[in-house]
Structure formats: structure tokens, C-alpha cells
Structure 1
């Protein structure tokens, strides 16, 4: 069990010195000389897994060795994240994770077997995935305003679905309840099949979720999109207004992805892999593939990624506290 250490900017400062750029490492062929293992702390077929596999192909073209994606799901990403934190910091075992493992869990879990800052080396932020608010086609609401009015007219009768306590879907619904001042009930599901079956049947009233699994049901007319929850309209849903545009100026709920190594990963290897990520995200195939999945490429090198993580940890402290979510 890893000893948990305080999370804060002091840790980020120490890591910043370790992540200075050393140009030319890739050209000199020092790293990698074999495939890197890219651990995804969720099951195959999840949004994180799909993004990791898309990126792995492009990284293989840049690095000369395609990373091997390994799924190590469990406990909200904790199992896979802890495994990488415990691994050798040689740059050959990396974590493909993001907001859940490195911003939300530290406030959600009473004890966490890793420190999201001190036990990792941030390598690169690579994408953002705004939540999309949908309702069943049978629900008489065609805007967020109409949805809020309906909830106020039926206090305690509307509910919202999520894939579990403390997930971004749960926290998004909780944020809507708090910011709109409405009484809606959280319904967490452990089965994605049941979640969608009951949402499509109108047994749940609404859900914030990534776009890719929603799209077939929206195209088929069984779900209606009311809003996206990013800071601006995404290119893949340009006609759908954001939550901010519909009267919620502080409402931004996105999942984000990044790559992390264990603490102490050599600076030159951080540099090589970060640059490979940057180059991969410029690939037309990645741009198109991410757009189809409702994901926006967003590269940030370690120096910018570190303070972003610190800010997200602090932002989610309030979001999690407001939701009342807690996992022992």
C-alpha cells in the first residue's frame, strides 16, 4: 500500500524540475526501444479505452513501437492507477487516465492508495470530452429551461441516470440540481445495458454522458440532446447550445484524458513521449476519430499539465462536496 502524501502545488513544483525538456532524444533512438505498456484503468470498450486505442495506433507511427494497451479496471480507476504508481519509473509503463483518477477520486474516497500528484509524473494532457445532456424523446422538454421548469413543476419526480456514484455523469446531474435549485433524484447503474434500457424507456428522466454511446439513440430519435457541458460548442455538435449559453455560466463538466508515468520518470523520456503525443494528435485520423467519439484533442506539455491537475483537484473538491458523494 502506497503511503498517501499531501496533494498540492509544492509537489507540482518538485515534479516540474523533473520534467524539463531534453530535445533530440527520439532522434538519437534512446527511448523507446520496445513497446511501451499503456495501462487503461477501466474495462475494454469504455470511452477511456477507446481513446487510448485510437491514440496507440498514431503513437506507434511516431515512436516506431506501438504501445500495448492493457486494461486493469476496478474501483473507479484506482486499481490500474495504483499499479502504474508502483511500477518502475523507466517510461515503459504509463497510465492513460484523467479526471476521475487524478482529480475526482482524491475527494470522493475516504482513503486512496496513491497520491494523484506525488506518485505520478504528468507526461501530457491530450483530450477533453464534454458531457452531453440528453432526455428521452417522450419527455416534454426541448431545452434546459424547459427541463428545469418541468422539474420545478414536479418536485422529486424527475431523476437522472449515471454509471455510478462519483462519476462525471453523477456530478453533472448533481451540479444541475444545485445550480438550478431543483429536486431531482440520482439513479446510479452498475450495468450500462440497464442504464440505457431504462433511459430509453423513459424510466429515468435525463442523463449527462459522453457523446459516442448516445449518438445512435439520438440519430434514431429515441433520445433528445438539450445541451453540451463544455466551455464552448464542440465541432461535432455545433448546433447544440452549451449549458453556459442556457443560463448556467459556471456549468462546465468535462472528462479529460492524459498520460502519466510513475514518479521519478526520467525527464528525457517524458519529453520524448510528450512530443510523440503532440505529433499524434495532429494526425488527421486521430482528429476524425476523436470527433466521431465526441472527444476534442487538447495537447498540454508537462509544464502546463501540472497546474491544470492542481486546479482540477481543487475544483472537484467543491463539486464532490456539493454532491454529497463519498466512497469508503
Structure 2
């Protein structure tokens, strides 16, 4: 190779490196997109809108929330996995979209671990077992007895097939030796109208979105799946207290960017989202939602992802949950 050719290649490499450095130091210079892989109205949507608004304030750029629901959260997640790794497209993931879906859909077009850069573990929230006023049950045992009398005609809704709500409902049915019809939706918000109207018999929904409905009398909350009673619902018994040994299901929420997002950008995003999470006004909002904020480094979220895979494999094997 001639000296002039080597010099030209070196110049190109230096220009590319300089462009990368400038692109990172100039970030963000345009609005961001925050994808929620579920329908509007559920906890992923509610929490996302609080965080995205605070993030926009701290970054000085708009952060647009976009709902891309479907396929148990895979549609919105894949959209972000395929996006440019430049820090401008994020996804608000859950233990289902970024952990257990890998078990249910081993042939997905993307890998929920390999194709994402974790940013922060936003927090955890357990589920609440809720029924419409038309179902005459005031505790879990009464609900089980009522389901048994329906001879298989009772039904329950979930945010998606393979979601934590799906696993929780099947865990209840298996432990009680009763049957009910599963009706999956594109997010908890989409299922709620059918529960409120009585077309669904019961539902395990996220505690954050269940509490306001229970307080208003639109649904009756029978139990929560936390290991211990959530501070947001101190009067609501746990499933263990209701007589179901080891019935503990706690989901998590996290923010992810596409894989190969520059580390400085990922760390800046992580820090800013953690700041938004702990903002005094955000903290007040979390209390009303029954959401337990955490905040973490990118590495801590990656560790949580991998650890949850083993847990959900065991739960799915026991309940026999399948995604049709």
C-alpha cells in the first residue's frame, strides 16, 4: 500500500472518530422517542408519561411517548431494537418484554437481551387480584368457590398472553383446581372496560392501575401478589396471607436503548432517568400509583434481566402457561 493511500485511510478514520465524538458530545440535539410496547391506559403508559416529561425538562429536548402495542409487547420492542443506536429511541420494558418473552418466543426476530442496551431499572410493582362488583366475592377463597360453580365459564383478562398477569391467573387456577377462560388483550388498559362491565370475571392487574379503581368502587381488590403488603395498599392482604403459599409475583420496569448505543450516551440517559424518577413530584405520583421506584445503573438492570430468566422458566413450567 502506498504512503499516500495509507495517509488517506488514516485521515478517513480520524474524521469518523471525530464525527463520533462530536455526535456524542452534541447529544441530544433533537427530540427523543419513548416507545411503550403496550396500549395506552396501563401502568407502563402512566409511568412512562411521568418520566418522559421530567426527562424532557432535564435534557432540554422533547420526549414523545409512542404506544406500539401487540404480540405481548414484541412489536414495540422490536421497533426499538432495529432503531439507530444513537440515544434518540428508547423503550419502556418489563419483565415480560425483556425476560420471559425470550422463553415463550424462542424464535423471535430479535433478542431481548443481546439487542438492547439496558439503561436503568425503574422500579417494581406487584399485581392485585381484582373483580367487578357483579362478582360476589370479598376474598380470594370466595372467588375460587364462585369460579368453581361457573363450570368453566368464568373468564379472566390479561395484558398479553405470557405476561405476569397470565402466569398469576394460571397459578391461582392450578393451586385451586378450577378452570377459567383466558382472554388476552393488547395491554391492561384495553382489558379494563370488559372487567368493569362484568364481561370478565376477574383479573390480576398491576397494583398501580388497580388501586384508583378499587378506591373509587369500580372494582373490588381481593389480594396483592407482593411478598409483603405494599405501603400503597397496607390494608390489602397478600396472596400468601390469603392462604396461597409461595404465591409471590413482582414485576419490574426498565428503560432500554438499542444495542451499541455509545456508552457515554447510555450513562447520561441512565443518570437523567434516575433523576426524573426521584424528582419530588414524581415521588408523590408513585405513591398514588402503588409503584416502588428503584433506579439503577445499566449493569444492574442487565443483571436483573438475566436473573429473572431462571425464575420465570420455573414459574412457566409449573403453571403450564403457553402462548398460542
TM-score normalised to structure 1 length: 0.80
Distance 1:55 1:169, change over 3 A: same
* Distance (whole Å) between structure 2 residues aligned to residue 70 and residue 267 of structure 1: 24
Cα 1:72–1:284 shift into 2, 3 Å: same
C-alpha separation between the residues in 2 aligned to 1:77 and 1:127? 18
Q: Which has the higher contact order (CA 8 A, sep 6+)?
A: 1
Which residue is equivalent to 1:286? 282
Superposed counterparts of 1:180-199, under 5 Å: 180-190=175-185, 195-196=191-192, 198-199=194-195
Specify which of 317, 320, 324 is matched with residue 324 of structure 1.
320
Alignment gaps of 5+ in structure 2: 1-20
What does residue 263 of structure 2 align with?
A: 267
**Cα distance in structure 1, aligned partners of 2:144 and 2:169:** 12
Q: Counterpart in 1 of 2:104?
A: 108
Aligned length: 301
Q: Which whole-Å deviations, capped at 9, do the CAs of 1:53-82 have from their partners, x for residues lacking one?
A: 110111123223242222222222212211
CA gap of 1:298–1:186, structure 2 versus 1, over 3 A, is farther
- Asked whether the equivalents of residues 41 and 189 of structure 2 are also in contact (C-alpha less than 8 Å), the reply is no
- How far apart are the structure 1 equivalents of 2:105 and 2:33? 27
- Who is 1:7 aligned against? none
Alignment pair present for 1:248 and 2:236: no
Q: Deviations over 1:115-150 (max 9, x none)?
A: 111111111110222211112334443222443455
* Partner Cα distance (1:193, 1:300) in 2: 27
> Is this contact kept in 2: 1:148–1:182, CA < 8 A?
no
| Shift in Å, 1:310 | 0.9
Q: 1:285 to 1:248 in 2, by over 3 A?
A: same
TM-score (norm 2): 0.81
1:153-184 Cα offsets, whole Å, 9 max, x none, are 77646443334422322211011122x23212
In the superposition, relative to structure 1, how do residues 201 and 61 fare at CA in structure 2: closer, same or farther (>3 Å)? closer
Relative to 1, partners in 2 of residues 1:66 and 1:290: Cα closer, same or farther, differing over 3 Å?
farther
Q: Distance in 1 between matches of 2:189 and 2:267?
A: 41
Partner of 2:128: 132
Match of 1:6 in 2: none
Is there any run of 5+ residues in structure 1 with no aligned partner, and where?
1-24
Structure 1 distance, partners of 2:262, 2:43, is 29
Cα gap change, 1:72/1:133 in structure 2, threshold over 3 Å: closer, same or farther? Answer: same
Deviation of residue 114 (structure 1)?
1.0
1:131 counterpart SS class: strand
Question: SS where residue 245 of structure 1 aligns?
Answer: coil
CA contact (8 A) 1:40 1:73 kept: yes
State the alpha-carbon separation in 1 of the partners of residues 199 and 303 from structure 2: 41
Larger radius of gyration: 2
Cα distance change, pair 152–283 in 1 and its aligned pair in 2 (3 A): same
Q: Deviations along 1:223-256, whole A, 9 cap, x unmatched?
A: 2211111233222212112223333342222332
Quote the residue 2:201 is aligned against.
205
When residues 39 and 193 of structure 1 are mapped into structure 2, their CA distance, relative to the original with a 3 A threshold, is closer
Work out which of the residue numbers 137, 140, 143 in structure 1 matches 2:139: 143
